Structure 1
Amino acid sequence: MKKLLLLTIILIFSLQVNAQEESSWWVFGDGAAVEFTPNPQNRSSLPFVAASGLDTDEGVGAISDEQGNLLFFTDGSTVWNRNGNIMPNGTGLFGNFSSTQSAIVVKAPETPDVYFVFTVGDFSTGLAYSRIEMNLNGGLGDVVAGIKNIILIDSSAEKVAATIKTGSNNAYVMTFAESNATAASPGSGDYNALFTWEVRGIPGAGISFVFPSPIPQSSNSNLGWFPVTNGSSGSENGMLRISPDGTKIAIANHNFGTASPGNGCYLYEFNPANGQFGGNGLQLDTGTVYGVEFSASSQYLYHDISTAYSGPARKDLVQYDLCDPANIISSKNTFSTVNNESRGTLQLGRDGNIYVARFDQPWLGRIENSETATPTYNATAVDISPGLGKQGLPVFIQSNFQSFFTVSDQCQGDATDFQLACLPQVAASMWDFGDGNTLSVTGPGVVQNTYATAGTYTVSVTVTNVSGDVRDFTQDITIYENGIVDPIDTTLLDYCDDDNSGSEIIDLTQFTADVLGTQDAATFDISYHPTMTDAEMDTNPLPDNYDVSVGTIQVWVRISNNISPVDDGCSAVASFDLTVSTTPSVSNIPDFELCDDASEDGIEDFDLADYLPVIENAAGNPTDVAYTIHTTQMDADTGMNPIDLTVPYTSTSANDVVYIRLQNVNDADCFGTGILNLTVFARPAITAPADIEVCDDAPLDGSGDFDLDGLITTINPTGMNNVTFHNSLNDADSGVGALPSPYTVSGNEEIFVRSETPAGCYNTTSFMITVLAAPSIGNAPDLTNICDDSVDLNQNLFDLSVQDAIILNGNNPADFTITYYTTDADAQAGVNSLPLSYIVPFQAGVTSDLLFARLEDNTTGCFNTSQFTIIFERCEIIFPEGFSPNNDGINDTFSIPGLAEQYNNFNLKVFNRNGSVIYETSASNYQEFAGIPNTGLNAGDGLLPTGVYFYVIQYNDVDIEDTASWVYINY
């Protein structure tokens, strides 16, 4: 079934399906490994990888069995079995860890469990092979001692490649070497020749071997080598690669660090039917090319251009389209530039992507969309940590990855797409889809076929290119069974929230059998998801024990074929509703309480219907719940004999009990019960307070403030009830219009009291409050301070008693008390009264203040207040006419009593007869004149001569006239 979210999926299939599994495991670099199943997953933490000690700088070979289980791997010098242990006789092979392609493993054509490991060393070591038999050493394999390091050519570049011979199980193995090199001689000169050897098998005889002589090249007088462009000195570095269809050869010469670096990449032809090389050698690039690889369809060629052996450098990734031989160079596409990256091999994977080795990185890079003209590079495609990549990746027989055409969506019942390689060159194609359907197509294009049943089909196509070339291709494809979501038994979809937690744990796996129906449980995976998108994308799977909240939710189920390599798993999705009903429970229902009426018989009528919201709230307001009330627990448990809630229910005593049943309307098995107490409370006792008298306070309006709250303890000694005060009995009975405290009372007023219990039962009483009149008080006139011989000029003295008669205002002084205060607050409170002889320190610039009088009735305690002003006047200053600064303690200074005390801004200057200032002082730093000048020519020279001196006092006040006079100094 096609997913609603459209995906573009390209799957690569090989003619030899089993051969793909042999490339499942890659072991490489420093303890790194991945497994293609079919997509690479990080397996570098498996014990055998870490234990093997593998740390190869460049080339490596690996092989898996036909089921994809790892058999062994090698760095060209040492062979490790699948457990990471060195095979017997598995050391000392002629490869080298620092060889670009140190080893390739070729399965023996006709001998089961036998493999040939072909090795090339670094620099001058040639191509050799060794035989491994897996039935030895308990099935872990041995390197056969007698067939180890068999030299085919004594010198070659660090390059080796292999492909399957057309129409057989035999293989061709090839390398790049000196044309005059042989099995016994390393030859000389630059590398300038291609050699290939055949790995042969005798069908039916179970015999496989490597033919020792290279295939004679008819184009070169049947010599065993094919001439190619000379590789410059050091051209042993870089890969040799054959296309998956076996028709093209690419030689990469890195040569970094040599006198003539570069030499680039060359493209030649090969005939996989007879082992013949061809072509004049198309030079694709002249730079330092190391890694090279073909796409699975052989349409595209990729290589790197890397400027460094290791460490930070620049690496370009380049693509060529090989479909049109005349325009290969012009099709060059540098699609990625990677900085801080060194050289590395490129290797095609089972998934059709091309992987890139990254030196000392915990990642494999990946060229994606490699079968298109717009490839992309993902530098961190596969996490291989804790392993590290180096320069090399395993080398495999390239024909294992051959694809004649690409296929997408191989699910039963879906339209499967087929697309030929080099599509622009296709003029016509005739398809046989292997299921009885055929299709003839003119021109290029994607063709489709829908397979009704799953299985393996042999698809054949005859392709006519625009050049008139006609070719036949045959490829096996697998169509996978599509999943079907069978309906789920609806009786499994309703649940109760048994513990009232708000959710229920539901085992989703119980639905799996219904979803599968008759489908094979080993073939199909079932998963559950919260949304349709999650189900389609196979993301956010729900846990098996899924915590479902109360209510109805939609769950999406996905069934997918687990043996399908298709990303969507040949899947189907559907949904079902899970309902979790509340299993109602209720406890601690608040008692339904009523107050007894005047009959005080403890029996009342209860409106149970009106009380249902309280019961619902106690139950947590569960959804989809119905309530009934019963007189017995048995009736509540069985749902029998519910009380009629349309009429009041009369209790049988002051403490009655009824029983609540809570029934979930969605599920008859979901119910709970609870107890409701019906209580009738007696009216509370109440104590009436004594009548109260309160004085009229200011303003004298016949009213007074009364602290009602002070009576609560008298009315309610236990403090259990709520006490309020009211103007009327009706308000007290209704509990409305509560009076504030303090409360203003006018004249005589009856106050009504309500005492209410926490249960809402109440009683009332009343008392009287009378407001007593305050005495009348007179308004005293202003009062001026006293200036006489007894007055200290630093003070203002007032005799307050002179105001008493006016304050009494005609009242009998024997019945009243008069006191005076500095603030109205003190006067109102009757605290901090003043003495009748009131002294205020002199304050310069202050001329008046207020005092407050309090007249209190000695009988009632009621009082009244008034205020008057006290006025501060300056006392007259007497200026002395002389002084004698002879230090006898008598009249030693020019002292002016009251000057500094009464004036705060004056200046005093003293002049001699010549009018010169000889002394200065001011209020801010006043010093009495002692006959010694402090200014002028004689400042500080000692006492002035006897005589008359003049002075001026400037008060610096517009309202006060300055003083000018004289003073006589005598000794």
Structure 2
Amino acid sequence: MKKAILLLLTLVISFSVTAQEESSWWVFGRRAAIEFTPNPQNRSALPLIANSTIDQDEGVGTISDENGNLLFFTDGQTIFNRNGDPMPNGTGLLGGTSATQAAIIIKAPETAGVYFVFTAGNGNTSPMVYSRVEMALNGGLGDVVPGVKNIVLLAASSEKLAATIQTGSNNAYVMTFGRSNATSVSTGSGDNNALFAWEVRGIAGPNVSFVLPAPIAQSANGGLPYFSTPLAATNGDRGMLRVSPDGTKLAIGTQNLTNQGLFLYDFNPGNGQFSGAGLQLDNGPVYGVEFSPSSQYLYHDISSSFSPTATSNRKLVQYDLCDQANIISSRNEFADITGGSRGTLQLGRDGIIYVTRWDQSWLGSINPETANPVYNPTAIDISPGQAQQGLPVFVQSSFASSFTVNDQCQGDATEFVLACLPQVAASNWDFGDGNTRMVTGPGIVTNTYASAGTFTVTVNVTNVSGDVRDFTQDITIYENGIVDPVDVTLLDYCDDDNSGDEIVDLSQFTSDVLGTQDAATFNISYYANSVDADAGQNPLPLNYNATLGSNTIWVRIENNTSPINDGCSAIGSFVLTVSSVPTVSNIPDYEICDDVSQDGVEDFDLASFLPTIAAQAGNPVDVDYTIHESQADADMNMGAIDTTVPYTNTMSPQVLYVRLQNINDIDCFGTAPFNLVVLNAPTLGTVANIEVCDDAPLDGSSDFTLSDQDATVANGSTGIVTYHATQADAESGAAALPNVYTVSGTETIYARFVNDAGCSGTTSFDITVQAAPAIGNAPDLTNICDGSVDLNQNLFELSVQDTAVLNGLNPADYTISYYTTDSDAQNATNALPLSYTVPFQSGVTTDLLFARLENNTTGCFNTSQFTIIFERCEIVFPEGFSPNNDGINDTFSIPGLAEQYNNFTLQIFNRNGTVVYETSASNYEEFAGIPNKGALAGDGLLPVGTYFYVIQYNDQDEEDTASWVYINY
């Protein structure tokens, strides 16, 4: 079956783009109308919305002339002229008040100004009839020809009408769905089960057009005047009948309770023959049906609702018809609309399928030439009208496109996309401009047209099954606009009134943008940004209010004869500059420090000061600066000072005048004064010379914190002080000394002071490091062990060291003092008395004292140290004691033991060798005859007698002592 169908399609199909203009106006629903203007550049982004007088729930018909001007429209009962008034003989037509496709209008094939209006009634009991309208009647507004009104073709039919153009001619086929036993005089009986087709014929010579009264005999049905639809046997009166734009497919949608659904048949637009077994695509309630312009895709809705409710539902479904064996499996249910209801789907001349919405002021839309369509519920606002179930139906071949053409602009790459592209094995193109191309596989083909015009494009297509088809289509290539550059002398303006903006007439740029292009062909418009310019939206007024600064203006040039959405347009931009009257105030003084001459005259580099003036003015664009000696010269732009050479002032301060000139407008300038000022050098304070003593280590040098002199140098002014080793460095500010500076002997320090104005001065002072006295090293001192020594108080006469400390210096010029620590000696704190008494230091043999020798004149001093040597004195052990509390020898007292030994132990034994007493340096108590060890510990005095003792010194330099002592009372 697939092969037979494809063989049937092996014919030459020619499409006329101009036929689409007849569908430019749609009048439908409840006083709703839209216009698809032939020239999209003369409309907004959406079709023009207009009011009408129609009020029809379902089928309507509308027709425009070949230029897109509305001629008349009908609801199936009345024909209204373009003014919305009923034609004189245009009432009483037999179309249904609630018929799915109540009317369709077909242009007479060979008779200009003549149209046939076909109508169908409600249900299955009303006839299919036609009436003839001639536009020459009724003063050019048209009327139904008397005697050619309601001419019956079929006594009873369903609510379905469709039409297509006969291949190779201007004739047309009109068709319906009805009962097989119905005729022009008999309504027949039973369900609708047959397809009928009639020829609308024209004879070119005498320019005669008519409708053949007999249906075309169907060879597939034994020559009978109908084609049986066994799989579509139904009472299906509601729902659309659609023929594909290429005339080869027929779809029947039915929304009845029995055998409802969508059925697909074949049709031969060359001879009016139906064929096929009726492929059932859906078994739901189908009302709206439509093909894509290429006939590749088939769309329908599914809805049982007459009018929408909150819970009603409407689905939209797509099929790809390219692969005959897999049409059903290509089903794509792409929209599920809550609150939707049944309604017509109708192709527009823009290639979009529009979807009617009950009682809504919006039409939905589907972009049909894609495998992934998207439903847009708010595509066109038709308010204040409202849509109902019906949209106008047209001769479907008016919308046919054998291939899709994208970008029909001169110089652009025009794309050609064949319908059923996946089935294409090869294509051979002749683009009509001398260019040809052979393409293998299903690729998109491009051709760039060097010139504008109408071109006949032919393509020979071989599909994957080996079948060959030829297609011919006329396309128009439109001249592409070019944005020529704008004269730059027109782009700069001055805000003379200081209002912050300037009115600029944008139309003055139009002739530049057009250049040599035809003003009648191209529209020029201006925009605030590239997005608006590219989309052609929100154009600027020609009296444009340009604001201060740079105003980027985008210009769009578009071909107003092009139906292409972008109008074969180009965009470009230029910049309008609006400059304020340049002004400046409060220019800071140009200050220079006076040199050593202190004469108040200096050379000023005025060129280097100009950026300061510009910054104070806010750095305005397109401004030149000149400097003058008087206000008059600045105003007249005379006597400008040459800023390339130094300018010598004549007084201080001296007033000069700057002129700020907008380079784009000689009358746009401002002036302001400023002062040249020669600043006096700062007055520095006098720093006294500094003398300091050599400090440790005694190396003849000392560290000085130079910043200690900052306040004196600055002399009450604010600024920065630095110190230098030479006068030259101080004057230049080079080689600044570190803040902590080491001086040896006597050095001259040069101070530099720079005040806040940047002026500097220098001064100097000396720093001298005084030498410390040469102190002698005193000999060591030793304690005295004689009968009068008190080991608790050792006396040292420190003055015996004076001679050694003086080291031969005159004692009248120096002061000698002694200390126990070096820190005290350095700081002259806690001096010792010359008669220095110090307790014996048990366990210490030596100690240090420090001598300080200070010059009474300079205050410089030096220190040295000497050693005190503690020698142990001989200990005398008593041979007895009498612990009778008479105050004489009451204890076993050993003078010097505890003072000289800090780690001894003492044990006393009775004659039996038992320890009766024990003590040590840490808890020493003299033995008083009372035992603290053994059985008698703490139990009164020991008996009279001799006792033995042992002293362990625990000192490697001292032998232990063992002896006896006698106790007597």
TM-score by length of 2: 0.62
In structure 2, distance between residues paired with 1:79 and 1:537:
39
How many residues get paired? 651
Question: What secondary structure sits across from 2:383 in the alignment?
Answer: coil
In structure 2, distance between residues paired with 1:467 and 1:330:
20
In structure 1, distance between residues paired with 2:136 and 2:341:
41
In structure 1, distance between residues paired with 2:636 and 2:457:
71
Query: For residue 191 of structure 2, what is the aligned residue in structure 1?
Result: 190
In structure 2, distance between residues paired with 1:425 and 1:477:
24
* CA deviation profile, 1:864-892 (whole Å, cap 9, x unmatched): xxxxxxxxxxxxxxxxxxxxxxxxxxxxx
Q: In 1, are the aligned partners of 2:231 and 2:278 still within 8 Å (CA)?
A: no
Confirm or deny that 1:87 pairs with 2:84. Answer: no
Query: For residue 308 of structure 2, what is the aligned residue in structure 1?
Result: 311
Confirm or deny that 1:115 pairs with 2:115. Answer: yes
Measured after TM superposition, the shift of residue 221 of structure 1 is: 2.3
Q: In 2, are the aligned partners of 1:31 and 1:44 still within 8 Å (CA)?
A: no
In structure 1, distance between residues paired with 2:329 and 2:717:
105
Q: In 2, are the aligned partners of 1:581 and 1:670 still within 8 Å (CA)?
A: no
Measured after TM superposition, the shift of residue 660 of structure 1 is: 6.3
Q: Which amino acid aligns with 2:30?
A: D
Confirm or deny that 1:434 pairs with 2:435. Answer: no
Query: For residue 344 of structure 2, what is the aligned residue in structure 1?
Result: 345
In structure 1, distance between residues paired with 2:627 and 2:447:
69
Q: Which amino acid aligns with 1:336?
A: A
In structure 1, distance between residues paired with 2:612 and 2:48:
64
Measured after TM superposition, the shift of residue 425 of structure 1 is: 1.8
Q: In 2, are the aligned partners of 1:14 and 1:403 still within 8 Å (CA)?
A: no
* CA deviation profile, 1:886-913 (whole Å, cap 9, x unmatched): xxxxxxxxxxxxxxxxxxxxxxxxxxxx
Map 1:576-591 onto structure 2 (within 5 A). Answer: 576-584=574-582
In structure 1, distance between residues paired with 2:332 and 2:658:
81
User: Which of 266, 269, 274 lines up with 1:277 in the alignment?
Assistant: 274
* CA deviation profile, 1:336-389 (whole Å, cap 9, x unmatched): 111100000111111212111111111111112x12221111111111111111
Question: What secondary structure sits across from 2:147 in the alignment?
Answer: helix
Change (3 A) 1:646 1:322: same
User: Which of 471, 478, 497 lines up with 1:480 in the alignment?
Assistant: 478
Question: What secondary structure sits across from 2:316 in the alignment?
Answer: strand
Deviation larger for 412-421 or 390-399: 412-421
Change (3 A) 1:651 1:86: farther
Measured after TM superposition, the shift of residue 676 of structure 1 is: 6.8
* CA deviation profile, 1:935-956 (whole Å, cap 9, x unmatched): xxxxxxxxxxxxxxxxxxxxxx
* CA deviation profile, 1:693-740 (whole Å, cap 9, x unmatched): xxxxxxxxxxxxxxxxxxxxxxxxxxxxxxxxxxxxx99999xxxxxx
Q: CA RMSD in A?
A: 3.5
In structure 2, distance between residues paired with 1:471 and 1:673:
79
Confirm or deny that 1:300 pairs with 2:297. Answer: yes
Change (3 A) 1:227 1:493: same
Measured after TM superposition, the shift of residue 624 of structure 1 is: 4.9
Query: For residue 841 of structure 1, what is the aligned residue in structure 2?
Result: none
Question: Identity of counterpart residues, as a percentage?
Answer: 63
In structure 1, distance between residues paired with 2:506 and 2:575:
12
In structure 1, distance between residues paired with 2:71 and 2:95:
19
Question: What secondary structure sits across from 1:21 in the alignment?
Answer: helix
Map 1:911-922 onto structure 2 (within 5 A). Answer: none
Change (3 A) 1:153 1:649: farther
Deviation larger for 235-244 or 509-518: 509-518
Measured after TM superposition, the shift of residue 411 of structure 1 is: 1.6
Query: For residue 104 of structure 1, what is the aligned residue in structure 2?
Result: 104
Map 1:450-465 onto structure 2 (within 5 A). Answer: 450-465=448-463
* CA deviation profile, 1:123-175 (whole Å, cap 9, x unmatched): 21111011111112221111222211111111000000000111111111111
Measured after TM superposition, the shift of residue 457 of structure 1 is: 0.7
Measured after TM superposition, the shift of residue 539 of structure 1 is: 4.8
Change (3 A) 1:498 1:261: farther
Change (3 A) 1:57 1:632: same
Query: For residue 916 of structure 1, what is the aligned residue in structure 2?
Result: none
Query: For residue 74 of structure 1, what is the aligned residue in structure 2?
Result: 74
In structure 1, distance between residues paired with 2:354 and 2:534:
28
Query: For residue 492 of structure 1, what is the aligned residue in structure 2?
Result: 490
Query: For residue 18 of structure 1, what is the aligned residue in structure 2?
Result: 18
Question: What secondary structure sits across from 1:135 in the alignment?
Answer: coil
Question: What secondary structure sits across from 1:20 in the alignment?
Answer: helix
Change (3 A) 1:374 1:674: closer
Query: For residue 961 of structure 1, what is the aligned residue in structure 2?
Result: none
Query: For residue 400 of structure 1, what is the aligned residue in structure 2?
Result: 398
Measured after TM superposition, the shift of residue 627 of structure 1 is: 5.2
Question: What secondary structure sits across from 2:84 in the alignment?
Answer: coil
Q: In 1, are the aligned partners of 2:481 and 2:568 still within 8 Å (CA)?
A: yes
User: Which of 350, 368, 371 lines up with 2:369 in the alignment?
Assistant: 371
In structure 2, distance between residues paired with 1:281 and 1:120:
23
Question: What secondary structure sits across from 2:15 in the alignment?
Answer: coil
In structure 1, distance between residues paired with 2:551 and 2:434:
46
Query: For residue 799 of structure 1, what is the aligned residue in structure 2?
Result: none
Query: For residue 384 of structure 1, what is the aligned residue in structure 2?
Result: 382
Deviation larger for 643-652 or 542-551: 643-652
Q: In 1, are the aligned partners of 2:635 and 2:659 still within 8 Å (CA)?
A: yes
Measured after TM superposition, the shift of residue 413 of structure 1 is: 1.6
* CA deviation profile, 1:783-820 (whole Å, cap 9, x unmatched): xxxxxxxxxxxxxxxxxxxxxxxxxxxxxxxxxxxxxx
Could you tell me which runs of 5 or more consecutive residues in structure 2 were left unpaired when the two chains were aligned.
1-12, 590-600, 676-713, 719-969
In structure 2, distance between residues paired with 1:311 and 1:330:
30
Query: For residue 413 of structure 1, what is the aligned residue in structure 2?
Result: 411
Measured after TM superposition, the shift of residue 677 of structure 1 is: 12
Q: Which amino acid aligns with 1:357?
A: T
In structure 2, distance between residues paired with 1:538 and 1:400:
29
In structure 2, distance between residues paired with 1:539 and 1:331:
39
Q: Which amino acid aligns with 1:213?
A: A
Query: For residue 126 of structure 2, what is the aligned residue in structure 1?
Result: 125
Question: What secondary structure sits across from 1:330 in the alignment?
Answer: helix
Q: Which amino acid aligns with 2:296?
A: Q
Measured after TM superposition, the shift of residue 229 of structure 1 is: 2.9
In structure 2, distance between residues paired with 1:608 and 1:87:
93
* CA deviation profile, 1:431-478 (whole Å, cap 9, x unmatched): 111111111222222122111111111111111222221111111111
Q: In 1, are the aligned partners of 2:659 and 2:672 still within 8 Å (CA)?
A: no
Query: For residue 916 of structure 2, what is the aligned residue in structure 1?
Result: none
Change (3 A) 1:627 1:232: same
Q: In 2, are the aligned partners of 1:34 and 1:41 still within 8 Å (CA)?
A: no
Q: Which amino acid aligns with 2:449?
A: Y
Map 1:897-908 onto structure 2 (within 5 A). Answer: none
Query: For residue 213 of structure 2, what is the aligned residue in structure 1?
Result: 212
Measured after TM superposition, the shift of residue 497 of structure 1 is: 2.2
Q: Which amino acid aligns with 2:444?
A: V
Measured after TM superposition, the shift of residue 635 of structure 1 is: 3.3
* CA deviation profile, 1:508-556 (whole Å, cap 9, x unmatched): 2211111111111222222334444554444554443333333345443
Deviation larger for 312-321 or 21-30: 312-321
Q: In 2, are the aligned partners of 1:500 and 1:584 still within 8 Å (CA)?
A: no
Question: What secondary structure sits across from 2:23 in the alignment?
Answer: coil
Question: What secondary structure sits across from 1:213 in the alignment?
Answer: coil
Measured after TM superposition, the shift of residue 14 of structure 1 is: 7.8
* CA deviation profile, 1:923-968 (whole Å, cap 9, x unmatched): xxxxxxxxxxxxxxxxxxxxxxxxxxxxxxxxxxxxxxxxxxxxxx
Query: For residue 201 of structure 1, what is the aligned residue in structure 2?
Result: 202
Question: What secondary structure sits across from 1:456 in the alignment?
Answer: strand
Q: In 1, are the aligned partners of 2:264 and 2:278 still within 8 Å (CA)?
A: yes
In structure 1, distance between residues paired with 2:356 and 2:233:
25
* CA deviation profile, 1:182-241 (whole Å, cap 9, x unmatched): 111111111111111111111021211111111111222222111113756641100011
Map 1:705-724 onto structure 2 (within 5 A). Answer: none
Q: In 1, are the aligned partners of 2:289 and 2:344 still within 8 Å (CA)?
A: yes
Change (3 A) 1:71 1:94: same
Q: In 2, are the aligned partners of 1:632 and 1:659 still within 8 Å (CA)?
A: yes
Query: For residue 149 of structure 2, what is the aligned residue in structure 1?
Result: 148
Measured after TM superposition, the shift of residue 578 of structure 1 is: 2.9
* CA deviation profile, 1:224-261 (whole Å, cap 9, x unmatched): 11111375664110001101111111111111xxxx34
Change (3 A) 1:463 1:45: closer
In structure 2, distance between residues paired with 1:628 and 1:364:
68
Query: For residue 55 of structure 1, what is the aligned residue in structure 2?
Result: 55
Could you tell me which runs of 5 or more consecutive residues in structure 1 were left unpaired when the two chains were aligned.
1-12, 593-603, 679-729, 735-971
Confirm or deny that 1:549 pairs with 2:550. Answer: no
Query: For residue 830 of structure 1, what is the aligned residue in structure 2?
Result: none
Measured after TM superposition, the shift of residue 492 of structure 1 is: 1.6
User: Which of 633, 636, 649 lines up with 1:635 in the alignment?
Assistant: 633
Measured after TM superposition, the shift of residue 573 of structure 1 is: 2.9
In structure 1, distance between residues paired with 2:248 and 2:611:
86
